[in-house]
Amino acid sequence: MPYLMYLHGFNSSERSFKSNCIHDRLKKLGLSNSYLMPRLSWEPNQAIIQASRLIESHLSEGITLVGSSLGGFYAGYLAEKYAINAILVNPAVSAHELLVDYLGDQVNPYTQEEYQLTTEHIAQLEKLDAPMTSVERYWLMLQEGDEVLDYSKALSKYPDVRLTLEPLGDHSFVNFERHINNILTFSKLL
């Protein structure tokens, strides 16, 4: 049985709305054991190590990533590293440029974890910026009303991939739950 792994965004958690929607659907189908939703470290290199270990332990069964925002950035890197499929939801395609505005003290509102984002972490993100090598590997999900990220940057980085582009919406991807059955089909869980 293949696996689906959710990668959450910056200052989010594994229990985000989108992750919970997927988990609830898989639970109803009796497939909750096929869902991985790690709490990723705020430090980029650590987050990649955590995700890589999970991917490697399930690679032989097949694994698809769903990444939102910064998790979408990580999913792009990991999809290339492991030649696996990834669904990118309003991804932060230039994370190292975006997060410069957040340097300094941080508190994750979901976990209450306190930390300091530094230029070293920005440099780690820059090293993870991987070019796409296979259009078949990706599904890009964007909403034009994203108030955090410019959706056109994701269109430029991931041309010719499977695309869901919706007008309006926001960074959270409004009405995400409408797409869960298609996500499960793309992930070979349905």
Q: Where are the domains of the chain?
A: 3-186
AA identity, residue 168? L
pLDDT of residue 44: 98
Topology of the domain comprising 3-186: Rossmann fold (3.40.50)
Sheet holding 35-36, edge to edge: 35-36, 3-7, 63-68, 85-89, 138-143, 162-166
pLDDT of residue 2: 96
Write the burial class of residue 60 (CB in 10 Å: 0-12 exposed, 13-18 middle, 19+ buried).
exposed
Q: Is the pTM of this model over 0.85?
A: yes
* pLDDT per residue as tens digits for the range 141-164: 999 999 999 999 999 999 999 999
* pLDDT per residue as tens digits for the range 24-80: 999 999 999 999 999 999 999 999 999 999 999 999 999 999 999 999 999 999 999
* pLDDT per residue as tens digits for the range 87-144: 999 999 999 999 999 999 999 999 999 999 999 999 999 999 999 999 999 999 999 9
